[in-house]
Amino acid sequence: MSALIVKQAYIPSMLEDLINKQYKMIDLAEAQGITDNEEILNNTEIMITNGEAKVGKDLIDKYNNLKLIADFGVGYDGIDVNYAVKKGIKVTHTPGVLTDDVADLGVGLLIALSREIPKADKFVKYGKWQELGMGSFSWTHKVSGSRVGIVGMGRIGSAIAKRLSAFDVTIGYCNQSKVDNENYLYFSSLVDLASFSDFLVVCVPGIKENCHLINKNVLKALGASGALINISRGSVVDEEYLTGALINKEIRGAALDVFEHEPYVSDKLRNLDNVILTPHMASATWETRKAMAQLVFDNVTAFIQGKELITPVPECFKVK
Ligand SMILES: NC(=O)c1ccc[n+]([C@@H]2O[C@H](COP(=O)([O-])OP(=O)(O)OC[C@H]3O[C@@H](n4cnc5c(N)ncnc54)[C@H](O)[C@@H]3O)[C@@H](O)[C@H]2O)c1
Ligand SMILES: O=C(O)[C@H](O)[C@H](O)COP(=O)(O)O
């Protein structure tokens, strides 16, 4: 008999279909992933979840026979990976297959923010151009040749740097280690990187250590001509301070795909016109979601067949 699988949190139906075709999966997502059913708690070997869903010690301890937690997503900040690994439970995620999409959106947001594309679109659609005439839309800011600071030069950060290099920008970055590219300027201080940057693009994981990494000091250093782009995790940015900084024009603007209390976004932030807000959709294309679903399925299958896992969460860098 195949291993018992629980669906702990939201995953797309294409992944459910893949799993259900071959295995038996119990849907606990609607009950917020919690059950008291002894049979499920004693027999579940595989949990499928997403990286933001809370899979902490208490939940892990409820399962007596859990062997694999398969995360639909590259980020695994919701999962207590250290505790799972201590208990001999393996964790997999979906790195790589979503890198292009997240980088594409990051670059798209940067350009849309700087050239004020959403505002310009509304200006034409709502008849303002016809009403006010030629030259009535205010000038925007240039992207080509600017200075871009990447916070976290991993898979996604590097893909953003590569794309932006075609715009002749100067790339600076902070990372846990220097990368092998002499064209990129390494900064050991995030405040110095922010001072250097016209655009600061956040690409680090939402681990505890990175909570409010982008804080008052960093935003002050970014300054009135600087803009923030965040496509990583909402927890990395002090959203309350950022909102004030945007209101007071301490920074020029922000483009955010992720928020501290998703899906809640404060009225203050939503009402600003120097922000672009998207609903955590950086990896949400049909093509990428299909590849992510397949990778979760392949990891589950490798586990069931006793083969090496395809994309285990790296042992060297765990959420504490
Ligand atoms: N918006 C979305 O839908 C979406 C989609 C995919 C990924 N993400 C987020 O993007 C994150 C990055 O993904 P990735 O595949 O590039 O991961 P990655 O592990 O390849 O890269 C992360 C990089 O951040 C660096 N880093 C970590 N903490 C740092 C710090 N304090 N200062 C400087 N550098 C630091 C690491 O050295 C690493 O190079 C994920 O963890 C996830 O949270 C968001
Ligand atoms: O970490 C990730 O991979 C992303 O945040 C993930 O792709 C987003 O998934 P969602 O929250 O849209 O289900």
- Do 213 and 188 share a structural domain? yes
- Do 246 and 114 share a structural domain? yes
CATH number at residue 207: 3.40.50.720
- Do 126 and 197 share a structural domain? yes
Please report whether residue 226 resides in a domain: yes
- Do 104 and 35 share a structural domain? no
Asked if 24 and 40 count as a contact pair (C-beta separation under 8 A), the reply is no
- Do 169 and 150 share a structural domain? yes
Check pLDDT > 60 for residue 1. no
Q: Using one digit for the tens of pLDDT, what is the confidence trace for 110-120? A: 999 999 999 99
The CA distance from 185 to 53, in Å, is 36
- Do 138 and 231 share a structural domain? yes
Please report whether residue 176 resides in a domain: yes
Please report whether residue 282 resides in a domain: no
**Looking at residue 30, what is its pLDDT?**
87
Say how many Å lie between the CA of residue 75 and the centre of ligand 2.
7
- Do 169 and 310 share a structural domain? no
Say how many Å lie between the CA of residue 145 and the centre of ligand 1.
25
Check pLDDT > 50 for residue 152. yes
Q: Does 213 sit in the ligand 1 pocket, CB within 6 Å?
A: yes
Q: Show the domain range for 181.
A: 99-277
Q: Among this protein's residues, is 30 annotated catalytic? A: no
Q: Which tokens in the block code for residue 85? A: 């690994």
- Do 43 and 28 share a structural domain? yes
For the beta sheet containing 90-92, the strands, ordered from the edge strand earlier in sequence to the opposite edge, are: 24-27, 4-7, 44-50, 68-72, 90-92
- Do 183 and 74 share a structural domain? no
Percent of the chain with pLDDT over 70: 98
Number of domains in the chain: 2
Neighbour-count burial of 250, counting CB atoms closer than 10 A to its CB (0-12 exposed, 13-18 middle, 19+ buried): middle
- Do 124 and 72 share a structural domain? no
Stretch 249-278: mean pLDDT: 98
Place of tokens 């679903």: 293
Q: Whose CA is nearest to atom 18 of ligand 1?
A: 154
Check pLDDT > 60 for residue 13. yes
Stretch 185-197: mean pLDDT: 98
**Looking at residue 316, what is its pLDDT?**
54
Least confident of 44-53, 110-119, 264-273: 44-53
Please report whether residue 142 resides in a domain: yes
pTM of the model: 0.96
- Do 250 and 144 share a structural domain? yes
Please report whether residue 267 resides in a domain: yes
Q: Among this protein's residues, is 233 annotated catalytic? A: yes
The CA distance from 25 to 156, in Å, is 32
The CA distance from 284 to 27, in Å, is 22
- Do 49 and 70 share a structural domain? yes
**Looking at residue 315, what is its pLDDT?**
65
Q: Does 258 sit in the ligand 1 pocket, CB within 6 Å?
A: yes
Stretch 200-215: mean pLDDT: 97
Q: Using one digit for the tens of pLDDT, what is the confidence trace for 283-294? A: 999 999 999 999
**Looking at residue 319, what is its pLDDT?**
47
Please report whether residue 83 resides in a domain: yes
Q: Among this protein's residues, is 141 annotated catalytic? A: no
Catalytic residue among 233, 252, 260, 289: 233
Stretch 221-245: mean pLDDT: 98
Check pLDDT > 50 for residue 320. no
